[in-house]
Structure 1
Amino acid sequence: MIVVCGEALFDVFPEQQTRTGLQLSARIGGSPFNLAVGLARLGVPPLFFGGLSNDLFGQRLASALTEEQVDISAAPRLDAQSALVMVSVDNRGVPAYGFYGTGTAERSLVEADIARVPKNAGVIHVGSYCMVCKPVANALRALVERQQGQSVIVYDPNIRLSIEPSVSLWRETLEWMLPRTGVLKVSDEDLNYLYPGQSAEDFIAVALRAGVQLVVVTRGSAGALAATAHGVRAVISAVPVRVVDTVGAGDTFQAGLLSWLWRKGFLQKDGLRGLDIKALETALRFAACAAAITCSRRGADLPHLSEVIFD
């Protein structure tokens, strides 16, 4: 199984002004939540490990995961409130995020909670702001340490400076993760926050030297590039699409990438050694096609396997 660790929350979109205020639309979301749903829709069994509130929002998040056939048996149910994130989208469909809440459920996991995660899990995915917000960050680091040598560790920084504004903390977390990570997916936008002026190619070289087995850098409309520790490199173009918004695009790309690698047997101990140029390019194109479908729809509405058709 793939264990997806981190936040489940509600994205709140302003719909229109009313005479007395704003009409809002609240939608289930959060990067790890989206990833877990995306994996399930693409035919991979995910287990979600994140704090779920007992409040109205948390109950809906739990039921939504269950409806999508995501295993939530490892997710602690907490009395802390659910997080709400206000999402505003510009005229290019690019979202900006504002966080509402402190001491919320997704941040409240502690190290003792990692006992809920099976030690025989094949893949552990961590990322987003739960890797930089305590106490959950400490719990996830402990889980990564526990699973070293047993699971393939996957990391996506997914930087949200509106939630944690300290770039140095995000950078320190990434650098702590590099020697512990098997698969790293990072956007060029995140790299620009962390290392302004450094090229994606230079960062990939640094990550590979640190011990990462597969590094993927997504570049939005410019496509993606990737390299392995065994000298395989690939570059793909983005899939043309009429963009409604890009909410959930990165999560969809990650779901597509991991689901393809999982189904082909690469996401296991030493499995990434078998990635050749043809397999890597196919994995990236599958992920890009899945992401394009999400961009063509409002919000993080990730595709099912039957929808992802590519040459």
Structure 2
Amino acid sequence: MTGLILACGEALMDFIPVETVGGARAYRPCPGGSSYNVARALGRLGVPTGLLAAVSRDFFGEDLIAGLRESGVRTDFLQRLDLPSTLGFVSLDRVEPVYAFFDTGAAERSWQPAPGDTLPAEVTALHVGSIALVREPAGAAFAALALAEAGGTRIVSLDPNIRPELVRDEACYRARLARLLAVADIIKISAHDLDWLMPGVSPDDAASSWFQGRAALVVITRGAEGVTGWTRRARIAAPSIPTEMVDTVGAGDSFMAGLLARLHEAGDLTPADLPRLSGSGLRNALALGQTVASLTCARQGADAPWRKDLGRQELV
């Protein structure tokens, strides 16, 4: 499989809490953003990948570009804007990371397609989600792109990666997610996000409801409790992989990259082939996702592993 996966969304600077030599609390800047993390992890796994986003021309933007290029991610889909970079400060005092974003007038939330822009034929899959779908005007633009591509010649992958603290118009956001969930080929969501999106609905019932739409693959992650994946014919649960935990920043994005990478390498990431995904194919995709996520958790920040780090789970 040689098609290109295009991650669509945000690129920003995460500030991760660290302790100084003197014991004081400080923050270390790390390139991040869910879509950025997915793209960079895919690139490190050797999968042809690009990032569709807006990036500032400031020095943080230069760091973001350098991180993509170092990981083998194409940057020719990026817009460079004379606007500031979004800064996201991370708290690791709870089970799930909590973020405070400083993004007024920021570049990444200002992305808009250029008039007449079309995606090249080499793009065979789009991945969307996270805060890129929350803030305007980029949120509406990315949603419109995914909706326009759904049901066509490209796979549409969705991970809502919900940040409730950023949602200002909950009714509008829920309606946007409902439209995307109805047309996405791949839906990946955490149990935490599912509780916010569909309170009281079991994972099995949620998956069943999404199969009433276009979905061919649904995956629900549960952190240390493992992951479950569904196709229209199979249900497979996989345990988490024990690791020496540093933090969980970027773990879900790394899982998403591993899942997409295995599907891509196996030739299953097409609208014709994904609905025929076998049970073993699903199991292998979940396994690689778990491996990539566990290795990320053993590092500080969203620092995904390279293909050479995977050991027996190496892509074939």
TM bin (shorter chain): over 0.9
TM-score by length of 1: 0.93
CA shift for structure 1 position 165: 4.8
2:74 is paired with a residue whose SS is coil
TM-score by length of 2: 0.92
1:262 corresponding residue in structure 2: 264
2:251 corresponding residue in structure 1: 249
CA shift for structure 1 position 164: 2.3
TM-superposition CA deviations, 1:166-194 (whole Å, max 9, x none) = 54444222211022211110000100111
Structure 2 CA distance for partners of 1:290 and 1:22, relative to 1, 3 Å: closer
2:235 corresponding residue in structure 1: 233
Show the 5 A alignment for 1:11-160. Answer: 11-16=14-19, 23-90=26-93, 94-112=96-114, 115=117, 117-148=119-150, 149-160=152-163
2:189 to 164, 186, 191: 186
TM-superposition CA deviations, 1:261-281 (whole Å, max 9, x none) = 000000012111231111111
- Say which is worse superposed, 21-30 or 154-163, in terms of deviation: 21-30
Structure 2 CA distance for partners of 1:113 and 1:75, relative to 1, 3 Å: farther
CA distance in structure 1 between the aligned counterparts of 2:113 and 2:11, rounded to whole angstroms: 19
CA distance in structure 1 between the aligned counterparts of 2:184 and 2:7, rounded to whole angstroms: 14
CA shift for structure 1 position 17: 7.5
1:43 is paired with a residue whose SS is coil
Q: Which runs of 5+ in 2 are unaligned?
A: none
CA shift for structure 1 position 197: 1.2
2:208 corresponding residue in structure 1: 205
Percent identity (aligned): 36
Matched, 1:289 2:288: no
1:4 corresponding residue in structure 2: 7
CA shift for structure 1 position 6: 0.5
Matched, 1:216 2:205: no
Letter of the 2:154 counterpart: S
CA distance in structure 2 between the aligned counterparts of 1:308 and 1:26, rounded to whole angstroms: 26
CA distance in structure 2 between the aligned counterparts of 1:215 and 1:68, rounded to whole angstroms: 28
CA shift for structure 1 position 85: 0.4
CA shift for structure 1 position 241: 1.5
Q: Which runs of 5+ in 1 are unaligned?
A: none
Structure 2 CA distance for partners of 1:190 and 1:170, relative to 1, 3 Å: farther
TM-superposition CA deviations, 1:241-293 (whole Å, max 9, x none) = 22111111000100000000000000012111231111111110111111111
Question: What is the alpha-carbon root mean square deviation over aligned residues?
Answer: 2.0
2:164 is paired with a residue whose SS is coil
Structure 2 CA distance for partners of 1:189 and 1:119, relative to 1, 3 Å: same
Structure 2 CA distance for partners of 1:277 and 1:101, relative to 1, 3 Å: same
1:303 corresponding residue in structure 2: 305
Letter of the 1:198 counterpart: V
Structure 2 CA distance for partners of 1:114 and 1:164, relative to 1, 3 Å: farther
Letter of the 2:5 counterpart: I
Residue pair 2:143, 2:176 contacting (<8 A) in 1 also? no
Paired residues, number: 308
TM-superposition CA deviations, 1:206-245 (whole Å, max 9, x none) = 111122111100111111111113x121111111122111
Residue pair 1:114, 1:139 contacting (<8 A) in 2 also? no
User: What stretches of structure 1 move > 6 A for 4+ residues in a row?
Assistant: none
2:162 is paired with a residue whose SS is coil
Letter of the 2:60 counterpart: F
CA distance in structure 2 between the aligned counterparts of 1:146 and 1:296, rounded to whole angstroms: 38
Residue pair 1:53, 1:77 contacting (<8 A) in 2 also? yes
